[in-house]
Amino acid sequence: MEAVTEQLAQLGAYGTSTGSWTPFWIINGAVRNDVRVNCSSGSMSPGDIANAAIGRAMGLIIKNLGGARKAVEDMGVYGNPGKYSSVIGENEENSPWEPLHVEHGLARDESAVTLFFPNCYSQIWQYGSDDRGILNTFIYNLQPGRGGLSCLIMTPHHAKTLAGKGWTKPMIRKFVSEFGRVAAYRHPSSHQGGGWTIKRPETVPPSGMDTVAIIPNPDLIKILVAGGPGAFLGLACGSGMVGADFVTKKIRLPANWSKLVAKYRNLVPAYEKY
């Protein structure tokens, strides 16, 4: 609740927009293991009680208590299945970098939730298995006109490949911001109001054939290590709404947390092996 009511999250704008933005929750820390939040294979799929229950509960709170009722305040043109449950845990144990919540100033042994509002999520086949192939997958799949908060999702294997070549999170963000470009005439801002609407000198090209950065500020990019084995990368794209940002909040646990965990911990399916 602290995250979703934080001004920087911009629930008031995203929750009532026609753009069908969805809350995207990233969970860090020991609480992931306490309630068995899925951080590995299929972590964005249905079937994991913790991921689904957290997303569904927050969706109902936003709708019923926050006043974002469908076709009343929430004017999303098409709606978004992500509003049912977009909850994922960071695969910290298999990541070569510091976790997302540590980047935001919290201790590694603390638990936290990070929130932002994308309205689309893509899974992309890697363009190559080396560091350049992985990074090119991201820069060639950024959507012109987004220009805002974006989360690059990669498996532990992808992350270790990049780290093994010396890439750090800040270096990756800078690379994607610098080389994720599009011809100016293809950028939506070049067609709004009869001319280029972005007034910052560093982003205004002299002609339509010059390129412009899709995400001009690397601080708008976050990197999440999650998922299981495989060659796909993930990309959750937000908007360039002024004043919006990723919001990270420490999870404050009740005194009887261990008893609650023992009673309500997520069940793990025991599949029959043929």
CA dihedral 254, 10, 217, 250 (to 10 degrees): -10
- 11 vs 75: CA distance, rounded Å: 13
pLDDT digits (tens, 9 = 90+) for 201-255: 455 555 667 888 889 899 999 999 999 999 999 999 987 676 889 999 999 999 9
Question: How many structural domains comprise the chain?
Answer: 1
The proportion of the chain whose per-residue pLDDT surpasses 90, expressed as a percent, equals: 65
Query: Could you tell me if 262 and 156 are in contact, meaning their C-beta atoms sit under 8 angstroms apart?
Result: no
In a domain, 11, yes or no: yes
Asked whether residue 186 is domain-assigned, the answer is no
Distance of CA 269 to the CA centre of its chain: 27
The whole-number pLDDT of residue 216 equals: 87
Query: Is 269 within the bounds of a domain?
Result: no
Average pLDDT (108-127) is 94
For the ranges 44-58, 71-85, 222-236, the maximum mean pLDDT occurs at 222-236
Residues 6+ apart with CB under 8 A from 106: 28, 29, 112, 248, 250
Query: Average pLDDT of the chain?
Result: 88
Listed in order, strand segments (DSSP E) in the chain are: 24-28, 87-89, 112-116, 120-125, 150-154, 181-183, 211-213, 221-225, 232-237, 247-250
* Mean pLDDT calculated for residue range 114-133: 94
Res. 185: pLDDT tops 80? no
Classify residue 57: in a domain, yes or no.
yes
User: Given this model, what pLDDT does residue 192 score?
Assistant: 47
Distance from chain centroid for Cα 37 = 16
The mean pLDDT of 90-107, rounded to a whole number, is 97
Q: What is the pLDDT of residue 27?
A: 98
Stated pTM of the model? 0.89
Residue 182 is predicted with a pLDDT of 86
Q: What mean pLDDT do residues 90-102 have? A: 97
> Residue 193 domain-assigned?
no
- Tell me, what's the pLDDT at 183? 83
Residue 195 has pLDDT above 50, yes or no: no
pLDDT-based confidence at 196, cuts 50/70/90?
very low
Mean pLDDT throughout 141-146?
A: 82
- The boundaries of the domain holding residue 171 are 7-180+215-264
Q: How far apart are CA 241 and CA 221, in angstroms?
A: 14
In a domain, 242, yes or no: yes
* More confident site: 149 or 147: 149
Please say if the pLDDT value at position 101 is more than 50: yes
Tokens (6 digits) for 2: 């602290």
What is d(CA 236, CA 166) in angstroms, rounded to the nearest whole number?
25
Q: Is residue 192 part of a domain?
A: no
- Using one digit for the tens of pLDDT, what is the confidence trace for 148-184? 899 999 999 999 999 999 999 999 999 999 999 988 7
Report how far residue 86's alpha carbon sits from residue 62's, in angstroms, rounded to the nearest whole number: 14
What integer is the mean pLDDT of 64-71? 89
Average pLDDT over residues 14-29: 93
Examine residue 142 and state whether it is found in any structural domain, yes or no. Answer: yes
